[in-house]
DNA sequence: ATAACGTTTGTTATAATATAACATATTTGA
DNA sequence: TCAAATATGTTATATTATAACAAACGTTAT
């Protein structure tokens, strides 16, 4: 059985950095940030990332190969994720919209495949960037 | 002005291979397949892929770093894509569901960002794989 | 026809992202 | 406390993607 709550040392270090970040972080940028803490190899980062994703503490933004902290308390396990991504400043915002989530969770493919999980990424230009 | 219809030699070669494939193809597997045709370098593949995506002829499956031919006649420009992905056999199916597409195209983020484009990936186990 | 422009190609090199494999240590629970 | 599972450290390597530059090709306007 997986340890439900406690994070290991490396997992905690990686999570802290992702949570403090203003935007999505890439694996190697996390690595460079934690070398002072004695983490030296990509493996260590990727292993922590994998576990954190499993636990629903972070999400991977697939289109950017980058990672963000989960902000929505209700996604213990990441099976329904949606993000808003600014193509100009790279800002990523997790969308937690009950209606959207229900709509997509209930969506069934004609070809009879039952879905376990989805990931949705919206792209546009955020308000801030539009002003410039 | 972009040439609307005609594909260049390399673009045509890459598109042909993707269209013939039963499933999503990775850039380097495309490369290995076309070396007999005189294409030797990743750049040549990635350049063709980029243009084909721009034209809406193919889509990138972000979660797999792989490429599939577009099967839906109405997505000249890929601004609203949805896929069904089997986690067992890796099969990918493009979903063209008008209702879903309309629902998502009309979706507006609370924070006021206007979306130009989205990509949705559903995951599960396909019918075929369930039988086994 | 030819000059000018944009696009495509070819090529070498390298950057960025991710996993394999193995040895050791730590934690957990029966 | 012993066994099992989980986490760590480490070296090496695989995979995915882009930079930079020179040459060829295609279009269009003159």
Confidence check: pLDDT of A104 > 70: yes
Q: What is the DSSP letter of B7?
A: P
Beta strands A114-125; B114-125: pairing state: antiparallel
What pLDDT is attached to residue A110?
78
pLDDT-derived band at B24, boundaries 50, 70, 90: very high
Q: What percent of chain A has pLDDT over 90?
A: 81
Q: Residues with Cβ < 8 Å from B21, sequence gap 6 or more?
A: B68, B69
Disruptive mutation site among A122, A128, A131 for chain B (greatest number of B CBs within 10 Å):
A122
pLDDT at position B121 is 98
Is residue B125's beta carbon less than 7 angstroms from any atom in nucleic acid strand C? no
Q: Please tell me which residue of chain B has the smallest CA distance to A64.
A: B62
How confident is the model at residue A1, as a pLDDT? 36
What is the structure's pLDDT at B75?
A: 54
Which pLDDT value is given to residue A76? 55
**Chain B partners of A114 at a C-beta cutoff of 8 Å?**
124-125
Whether B48 has a pLDDT exceeding 90, the answer reads yes
Instruction: Answer yes or no: is B40 CB < 7 A from strand D.
Output: no
Q: Which runs of consecutive H residues, i.e. helices, occur in B56-126?
A: 98-105
| Whole-angstrom distance, CA of residue A26 vs CA of residue A7 | 20
C-beta neighbour count of B3 within 10 angstroms? 9
Angstrom distance (rounded) from CA B39 to CA B41:
6
pLDDT at A36 over 80: yes
Averaged pLDDT, B108-132: 90
Identify the closest residue of chain A to B91 by CA–CA distance. Answer: A113
Which chain A residues are closer than 8 Å to B117 by Cβ? 122-124
Max mean pLDDT among A82-86, A124-128, B77-81 falls in A82-86
Are the beta carbons of B116 and A84 separated by less than 8 Å?
Answer: no
Averaged pLDDT, A95-109: 92
Encoded tokens for B37: 């045709």
Token pair of A40 as six digits:
């030296």
- Whole-number Å distance, CA B121 to C1' D19? 31
pLDDT in tens, A45-81: 999 999 999 999 999 999 999 999 998 865 556 789 9
Per the DSSP assignment, residues forming a β-bridge with A115 are B124
pLDDT tier at B112, thresholds 50, 70, 90: confident
- Bases of chain C with protein Cβ within 7 A: 7-14, 16-21, 27-29
Question: Is residue A37's pLDDT more than 90?
Answer: yes
Q: State residue B115's pLDDT score.
A: 94
**Chain B positions in Cβ-Cβ contact with residue A117 (cut-off 8 Å):** 122-124
User: What domains appear along chain A, each with residue ranges and CATH number?
Assistant: 9-69 (1.10.10.10), 80-131 (3.30.1490.190)
With CB atoms and an 8 Å threshold, state whether A123 touches B125. no
In this predicted structure, the answer to whether residue B83 has a pLDDT above a threshold of 50 is: yes
Q: Are B48 and B14 in contact (CB under 8 A)?
A: yes
Cβ contact, residue pair A109, B119, below 8 Å:
no
Nearest to A87 by CA among B114, B57, B107: B114
Which burial class, exposed, middle or buried, applies to B92 when counting CB atoms under 10 A from its CB (0-12, 13-18, 19+)?
buried
> What percent of chain A shows pLDDT beyond 70?
92
Integer Cα distance of B26 and A39 in angstroms: 32
Angle formed by the axes of helices A9-20 and A42-55, nearest 10°? 80
């Amino acid at each position: 059985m997986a340890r439900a709550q406690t994070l290991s040392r490396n997992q905690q270090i990686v999570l802290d950095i992702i949570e403090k970040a203003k935007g999505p972080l890439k694996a190697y940028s996390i690595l460079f940030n934690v070398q002072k803490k004695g983490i030296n190899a990509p493996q260590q980062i990727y292993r922590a990332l994998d576990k954190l994703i499993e636990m629903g503490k972070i999400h991977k933004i697939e289109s950017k190969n980058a990672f963000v902290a989960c902000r929505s308390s209700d996604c213990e396990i990441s099976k329904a994720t949606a993000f808003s991504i600014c193509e100009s400043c790279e800002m990523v915002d997790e969308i937690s919209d009950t209606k959207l989530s229900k709509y997509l969770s209930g969506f069934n493919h004609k070809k009879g495949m039952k879905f376990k999980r989805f990931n949705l990424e919206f792209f546009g230009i955020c308000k801030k960037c539009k002003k410039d």
